[in-house]
Amino acid sequence: MLLAPACALCAVPLREPTRGPICTDCWHAVPRLTPPLCDRCGDPLPSGRVGAVARSGCPRCRRARSAITRSRAVGPYTGPLRQLVHLLKYERRHTLAVRLGDLMRQYGTAVLADADYVVPVPLHARRRRARGFNQAAELAAQLDLPVVHALRRTVATRPQTALPAAHRRRNVAGVFAPARAIGWRPAASRIRGARVVVVDDVVTTGATVESCARVLRQLGAREVRVLTLARVARPRSP
């Protein structure tokens, strides 16, 4: 007798193993970020802070300049969503990218609407070879928009999650550059005048996506937005 494979998250036998390695209950348990949200960074706002308040940004965003106009994430980087990111990123469960991309399309309509391209956050070539794939590119490929690899990472930085928050911006400062030309038309040349969406798996302090956005702005992007699978919840500013 053949036993059904177990869910990769809860270890319960899968009722529909052909639909992937995660059971329906675990998919439903993925935490979501729901309005009201700060329009620029995507952080949750106190209940009732909607409309003009959300569009003007949370107190942190109102105090800081940014190359990013709008950001969204599916949910907070915790519980089942954190486990799913780890399965995709470190255990190479590539098939998860399809359903995770579905979630990103569903919760990212505010940033994907009328966008021209999606630009995955690049890995350094050394890390890309070691991992065998770029999880941001895997997710970007599911978003029903042309993927442009307009950026390259010039320095193999330490993982952001291994650093204190105060050091993360410095860790990625100046490490992104326009992608090198391949063929007759450099990928970066498509960015001029375009609305682009930077895609990554997780945003922590936002330092990585901000650094990417600044390079894209220098390339002439009309607007830079951000869509990630998860974001680390930050303490609310007063």
Name the token pair of 131. Answer: 């991992």
pLDDT value of position 1: 41
Question: Element (H or E) spanning 229, and its range?
Answer: strand 223-231
pLDDT at residue 159 tops 80: no
Name residues whose C-beta falls within 8 Å of residue 91's C-beta, 6 or more positions apart in sequence: none
CA distance 118 to 120: 7
* 63-101 residue pLDDT tens: 889 999 999 999 999 999 999 999 999 998 988 999 999
- The DSSP line for 105-159 is HHHTHHHHTT--EEEEPPPPHHHHHHHSS-HHHHHHTTSSS-B---EEE-S-PPP
pLDDT of residue 169: 56
Average confidence score pLDDT of the chain? 87
If you average pLDDT over residues 25-33, what whole number do you get? Answer: 95
Residues in the chain: 238
Mean pLDDT on 153-176:
64
* pLDDT of residue 170 exceeding 90: no
The band of 237, judged by pLDDT with boundaries at 50, 70 and 90, is: very low
List the structure tokens of 176: 């992104």
pLDDT digit string, tens, across residues 174-187 = 789 999 876 656 77
The pLDDT value recorded for residue 165 is: 54
CA angle 107, 111, 116 (to 5 degrees): 130
Cα separation, 218 vs 169, whole angstroms:
18
**pLDDT score at 4:** 78
Q: Which two tokens stand for residue 199?
A: 């895609």
Distances (CA, A) of 106 to 62, 85, 110, 215: 27, 17, 9, 27
CA angle 151, 153, 184 (to 5 degrees): 40
Question: What is 20-231's CATH number?
Answer: 3.40.50
Q: How sure is the predictor about 104, in pLDDT bands with cuts at 50, 70 and 90?
A: very high
The neighbour count for residue 96, using CB atoms within 10 Å, is 22
Least confident of 29-33, 204-208, 230-234: 230-234
Strand partners, 73: 228
| pLDDT (mean) for 35-40 | 91
User: Where are the domains positioned within the chain?
Assistant: 20-231
